[in-house]
Amino acid sequence: VIITKLLPTPFPSQKPITMSGNDVMLSKEQENDADVRRVDQERIGRFGRLNARLHEARSEREELKKKMERVEDASTELMMGAGDRVSVRLGDAFFETSEEEATERCENIVEGLQAEVDGLDEEVDGIVAEQEELKVLLYARFGSSINLEESGPPRA
């Protein structure tokens, strides 16, 4: 989240000057001299916290999907077995069980992981919706003087 309030350019006809990376100097017409009120600060702070949680939730979701894929692969391997007893790891210990019980356990783990992934998907959707509401409010107040996008120049 970036708020930019830049000094006027010495030449009004001058176009925005790219300074480095995503920093853009705004032309006089693009500047917004709106004061930052407490409610604006709270909205910007809320947006930042939501953005941090959004990245965390997406990362957690990817880790859960990888774990779920590994468990599904193990379940598939169990189905290809000859009906023998198998060793299953539970924490730091291994115990022997039938392929059927191990497969059932894998299926239960996958169901639990899928429920967690679904919960994170709902959380991500809620965060994105709230961020969109905050974007509307903040862009209406600050125009192109604020950048709430992941990357790129401020919105026009």
Q: Which domain holds residue 98?
A: 38-142
- Tell me whether residue 8 is in a domain: no
d(CA 127, CA 121): 10
d(CA 67, CA 69): 5
pLDDT tens profile 35-53: 889 999 999 999 999 999 9
- Tell me whether residue 29 is in a domain: no
Looking up residue 93, the CATH number of its domain turns out to be 1.10.287.370
- Tell me whether residue 122 is in a domain: yes
Query: Which residues in the chain show pLDDT less than 50?
Result: 1-21, 154, 156
Q: What pLDDT does residue 14 have?
A: 44
- Tell me whether residue 147 is in a domain: no
Q: What pLDDT does residue 2 have?
A: 46
Instruction: Say if residues 71 and 82 touch (Cβ distance below 8 Å).
Output: no
The count of domains in the chain is 1
Supply φ then ψ for residue 4, to 5 degrees. Answer: -120, 125
